[in-house]
Amino acid sequence: MKKKHKLLVLILILLISIGMISIFSIKSYNKYMKWNQHKDYFKQDKSKQKIEDWMTLRYIGSEFDIDLKKKFNVASFSFSQKRLTLNEYCSINNLDCRIIIKDLNKEINKQTNK
């Protein structure tokens, strides 16, 4: 009876491990495909890189050193909101993404011209 119980526990652990590995593999592959589509962007000189709608909020905040909380007038972003692309965030909150991108790029230009 104990052997059967041990075997069931091991099988359960194995199934959970396979499930977790599968989930992380799929997420990594999707992220790779998303970023791979924009590899030409990353080949540009850093000073020529501008904010685009496919970028995540977390990437924009860290890479361009912009306080997005102040820009969007929110106390903070949740973990899942930070993972949204700018385009997704704008569509959820009924914002005009083109205007926001234009404003953010103006802010970047001000930072680089200081």
Q: What percent of the chain is predicted at pLDDT more than 90?
A: 23
15 pLDDT exceeds 90?
yes
* Closest residue by Cα to residue 104 from 51, 42, 67: 51
**Two tokens, residue 83:** 């993972």
**Two tokens, residue 87:** 């385009």
- Contact between 104 and 66 (Cβ < 8 Å): yes
pLDDT in tens, 20-53: 999 999 989 988 887 787 878 878 887 778 888 8
* Closest residue by Cα to residue 50 from 33, 64, 67: 64
